[in-house]
Amino acid sequence: MSDTDHSLDATGLLCPLPVLKARKRLQALKAGETLTVQADDPAAIVDVPHFCAEAGHTLISSELHGPIQTYVIRKS
């Protein structure tokens, strides 16, 4: 994770908690900093990209490794 600034482990949390926790963490970051979020909630596949689009953040990447989803978000 050397290319990211901050991380959030949201595994075990159900909708809407992964997005709510990501939003709270992003509020504390400076513009341009990144947050890596790990989640295993199936709804996060839709919720995280939608949240980024609505909030104006950039979804740099999203990967799926078994049940674990990893998102890298750049704060706008």
Active site residues: 15
- Kindly report the CA angle at 73 between 72 and 76, in degrees rounded to 5? 160
Per 3-state DSSP, the chain is made up of helix, strand and coil in percentages (nearest 5) of 30, 35, 35
Beta bridge pairs of residue 7: 36
